[in-house]
Structure 1
Amino acid sequence: MGKAFIKVKKFFKVFGPGVVTGAADDDPSGIATYTQTGAKFGYGQLWTVIVMLPLMTAIQEACARIGAVNGLGLAAVIKANYSKKVLYAAVLLVVVANTINIGADIGAIAAAAQLLIHINFVILTLGFTALILILEIFTTYRVYSRILKWLALALLAYPITVFMVHQPWLTIISATFVPHVELNFEFFFIITGILGTTISPYMFFWQTSQEVEEEKALHLISRYGKPNIGPKFIKNLRIDNFVGMFFSEIATWSIIVVAATVLHQNGITNVDSAADAAKALEPLVQTFPNAGFLSKLIFAVGIIGLGLLGIPILSGSAAYALSEAFSMKQGLNLKLKKAHGFYGVITIATLIGLMINFIGIDPIKALVFTAVFNGVAAVPLIFLIARIARNKKIMGEYRSGWLSNTAVWITFLVMLASAVAMFYTLARG
């Protein structure tokens, strides 16, 4: 019994940046996009989950390995090996994408909170923004990472709901493994959004930098800046990464199935508000007298919890990218007085994101548009990551093997094809 407990404890100790990144992947933007595809196309895009799992696992593993091997974040690695034009283009992409995403997530948190409490939208956005900044700036990395891991439990509402509703399992299994494609703009718009909210630019920069933070916490970086790691560290990194991505995709699959069964089959094909999205969880509490309110409560807690998880990661990854590009001290392990620039970027990105909510964009629709923007922005970044991960000069003995290299390039081609198909069908009307 004692040996079994020790083995289990060792297994869970492996969990770190990969699990947190995987949980953050299902942020409010992800929930809105997956709910929209289930409502609009039923089970028609369920197959994307099977496609995305190996793709997101491959690209995130490559990013994690880049950080672990070099002891540097992604922007710092690009800076050391490529021209300033390439560096600034990569940093600009992630900062713009993240800032837009932050704005959409803040709006979604406020809209979800309004399902429970009748407080002005502006006051709610200001209050949540202040809370997020205080948590990120004034708590230590170790404390904050624990908070992030627990917030991931909010996703459990969707897998539970899947098994509480009568499901056409044969149809669902078929839709999961047999691709269905419609040659129109709306279909490719949502597909690009699904890919973009799953394989997002902020995840690339965040996980790379968090592997470095992990090495610092474990005192694995030498005085010369090079990490002292071996095959066991890389193996644990891969386990952590796969577990995070696997459970992220289970959540994605569950959200699409629930939306397809509860919304699409009942004639709700467009998710125009937080209240519409919350209806997907009504079967979870249908035996209770006030099922409508309880479903809103669960949805709101999930959106707020995952927003509090996702927004700091969005602003943090933008801060890592800019700080590395301009040689500023950076890291969530540093206190405010030692990393003014790093925390300054976090604050500015979050505040600009906040301001996006005051230009009249519907919060739920903004989440889907954000996902699509991420799907387009990710394409050139994946191209760059593929080249870095395979470069022997940069990665040494831990450069990508043929399997990892092939998977990352397939990810690039799939993301590119989706974006091109979306713009092509748009141009063709």
Structure 2
Amino acid sequence: LIIPMNFTLLALLFTAIILGLEIFTSYKRYARVLKWLTLSLIAYPITVLIVNQQWITILKSSIFPHFELSFDFLFVITAVLGTTISPYMFFWQASEETEEERAKHLLVRDNQPKINVKFIQSIQIDTLVGMIFSQIGAWSIIVVGATVMHQNGITDIASAADAAKALEPLVQSFPNSGYLAKLLFATGIIGLGFLSVPVLAGSAAYALSEAMNWKEGLNLKLSRARGFYGVITVATLLGLLMNFIGINPVKALIYTAVINGIVAAPLIFVIWLIARDEKIMGQYKSGRLSSALLGLTFTCMTIAGIALIMTFFKG
């Protein structure tokens, strides 16, 4: 959409760049690259703004959404929840905080972190800001999909590139607005690809390495963590392979998101128990507000998962 090159060559090039950055650069440099890539999220709100929208209806529907007890509706809702609160992110974020502590030399004896209130507060601010911007991006994608594509009868999208292409003839806010919308949407897709693929592969590597007691961490060189980087390589190459074996990537993402939405609930419950346990958390145990919000999240995720399963068997 942006670079007029053969798809196969671009896929191989992007895969090589992702693996090269994740395996052969230092954690500090790689973290800096990921932070700059988050700017790609800005493309989605800008896309929403250049489209003629019925803002009162959109805002009203965002605050008071339509709801129905049907399998199709609950399937999508569970997918949205699973995309927002993905189990793999639990592993990734916890592991990356450890990487950050190592990079900032916040470790004391036995390689254990030296944690203080200021550091915890910085994590909370970082998480809050990240969630706000990611949800603005997600909301913008949903709005564009609903108001531009769905309203014009486009409901079967085989890839994110197809979604970007579909915008061009439909957006007519001003001269060349359709082309600009396509370009912005495509830029966001590429940026998120560079962000999400390493996170997915890295999460699998952290989880498997911890289970197998392998050395793990992006701060380690390839020679010291071959198993860890091996999992990253295999997971990334499997993602590349999906482009060439006929699997619809959009449907694959939706089904995966639904699975995430169902699996996340019990994991959230375990985290909730750990966070409230003073024997484990000490002075940093979860407060009343965070415990209540986490409990509410668990309840919503559980209800959505159970309702989806019930409507599936009821037909």
Q: TM-score, normalised by structure 1?
A: 0.68
Residues 277 and 378 of structure 1: CA distance in aligned 2, closer, same or farther (over 3 Å): same
Deviations 1:11-37 (A, max 9, x none): xxxxxxxxxxxxxxxxxxxxxxxxxxx
Please tell me the residue identity of whatever aligns with 1:266: N
The 2-side partners of 1:321 and 1:167 are apart by 43
Please tell me the residue identity of whatever aligns with 1:140: S
The 1-side partners of 2:63 and 2:200 are apart by 32
Please tell me the residue identity of whatever aligns with 2:153: G
The 2-side partners of 1:199 and 1:141 are apart by 25
The 1-side partners of 2:190 and 2:300 are apart by 31
Give yes or no for contact 2:170–2:178 (8 Å, CA) kept in 1: no
What's the CA shift for 1:126? 3.5
SS at match of 1:328: coil
What's the CA shift for 1:162? 2.3
The 1-side partners of 2:313 and 2:126 are apart by 42
Q: Counterparts in 2 of 1:15-414, with a 5 A limit?
A: 116-117=3-4, 119-121=6-8, 123-278=9-164, 279-280=166-167, 287-289=174-176, 294-414=180-300
Deviations 1:298-355 (A, max 9, x none): 3333212211111111111111112222222111111111111211121122223333
Give yes or no for contact 2:47–2:184 (8 Å, CA) kept in 1: no
Q: Tell me the percent identity.
A: 57
What's the CA shift for 1:281? 6.7
SS at match of 2:110: coil
The 2-side partners of 1:326 and 1:424 are apart by 36
What's the CA shift for 1:270? 3.6
Number of residue-to-residue matches in the alignment = 314
The 1-side partners of 2:126 and 2:229 are apart by 27
Q: Which has the larger displacement, 274-283 or 134-143?
A: 274-283
Give yes or no for contact 2:50–2:181 (8 Å, CA) kept in 1: no
What's the CA shift for 1:358? 4.1
The 1-side partners of 2:146 and 2:269 are apart by 34
What's the CA shift for 1:390? 1.5
Please tell me the residue identity of whatever aligns with 1:119: N
The 1-side partners of 2:168 and 2:96 are apart by 33
Structure 1, unmatched stretches of 5+, are 1-112
The 1-side partners of 2:157 and 2:38 are apart by 23
The 2-side partners of 1:370 and 1:246 are apart by 23
The 1-side partners of 2:209 and 2:248 are apart by 32
Deviations 1:58-103 (A, max 9, x none): xxxxxxxxxxxxxxxxxxxxxxxxxxxxxxxxxxxxxxxxxxxxxx
Please tell me the residue identity of whatever aligns with 1:117: P
Residues 132 and 264 of structure 1: CA distance in aligned 2, closer, same or farther (over 3 Å): same
Residues 159 and 299 of structure 1: CA distance in aligned 2, closer, same or farther (over 3 Å): closer
Deviations 1:166-193 (A, max 9, x none): 3222212211211321121111111111
Residues 264 and 120 of structure 1: CA distance in aligned 2, closer, same or farther (over 3 Å): closer
**Pick from 290, 304, 308: which aligns with 1:418?**
304
What's the CA shift for 1:118? 5.5
Give yes or no for contact 1:161–1:284 (8 Å, CA) kept in 2: no
